[in-house]
Amino acid sequence: MPYLVKLQQFEGPLDLLLHLISKSKVRIEDISITEITEQYLETLHMMEQFDIEIASEFLVMAATLLHIKSCILVPKAKPEMEELEEPDPKQELITRLLEYKKYKEAGNKLKEREAYYSGIFYKLPEELFTNEKSEVLPPDVNIDLLHEALCRLLQSRQKLGSTESGPAFHEIKRDTITINDRIDHLKNYFSMYSKSTFFSIFEDDSSREEIIMTFLALLELLKVNYLEVQQDYPFGDIIIKRRNLNG
């Protein structure tokens, strides 16, 4: 028949010490370090046996207790001189225990208050508050303009032949055309015509990918100075010309 012992959970070494002190029914100020150290180490031992992981703080306290005990056993060499420099470690521990006890008790009082006051229920704010921070359109934009822009966008998408109605799945396809293809294509084109317009070079492109590739090819050819561009007025069609360098 296994012997079951229920071990109290301790919040920390100070909590454990307070428990031991209250068990031996002495005032904190009157503790016997020898006794308390013994009991403390015994408890740690028990915790170990029950496979409870002992936090490092408990071990630090064990060391502190042993230190105090040794201080008591070994008589001080020059009592009057040293008392000024080093505070009594036992007194220090007692002060800490008293201080900790205050807050432990305050915590218990808070618990009572919490239990009582958690019985208060509040009402959620009326929902009209949630609309308070709705986005405001910039002053020079009106709904008609936005509507028009949206229609144009949808139309141009239809032109591109996209038949899917919603953004359900997106298929990633291998690029069927490369920039190099397009560069060759454009070079061919401009070997026949020395001048063209921006929109007309996209006329053969039906898919989004093709448009992008042609555009990138155009940028490339501009970079290597094969082509040059010119625009006569804002938003006008861009005229693309072949540079007459060496060929």
Residues that bind other proteins (CB under 8 A): 11-15, 55, 57, 61, 96, 98-100, 102-111, 113-126
| Cβ proximity of 158 and 202 under 8 Å | no
Q: Specify the residue, 3 or 121, whose C-beta has the smaller distance to other proteins.
A: 121
Q: Closest separation between CB of residue 56 and other proteins, Å?
A: 9
Q: Closest CB to other proteins among 100 and 190?
A: 100
- In angstroms, give the least distance from the CB of 6 to other proteins: 16
Alpha carbon distance 181, 112 (integer Å): 79
Residue 86 Cβ, how far from other proteins at the closest point, in Å? 19
Q: CA dihedral in degrees (18, 24, 28, 31; nearest 10)?
A: -120
> Can you tell me the distance from the alpha carbon of 203 to that of 180, in angstroms, rounded to the nearest whole number?
19
Q: What is the rounded end-to-end Cα distance, in angstroms, of the chain?
A: 102
Residue closer to other proteins by CB (options 14, 31) is 14
Nearest approach, Cβ of residue 220 and other proteins (Å): 53
Q: How far is the CB of 45 from other proteins (least distance, A)?
A: 20
Nearer to other proteins, 3 or 117 (CB): 117
Q: Which is closer to other proteins, CB of 108 or CB of 231?
A: 108
Cβ neighbours of 186 (radius 10 Å): 21
Q: How far is CA 157 from CA 165, 215, 229, 233, 244, in A?
A: 11, 17, 27, 27, 37
Least CB distance from residue 67 to other proteins, whole Å?
Answer: 16
H helices of 24-88, in order, are: 33-49, 56-73, 79-85
Nearer to other proteins, 77 or 115 (CB): 115
**What is the spatial distance between Cα 60 and Cα 52, in angstroms, rounded to a whole number?**
17
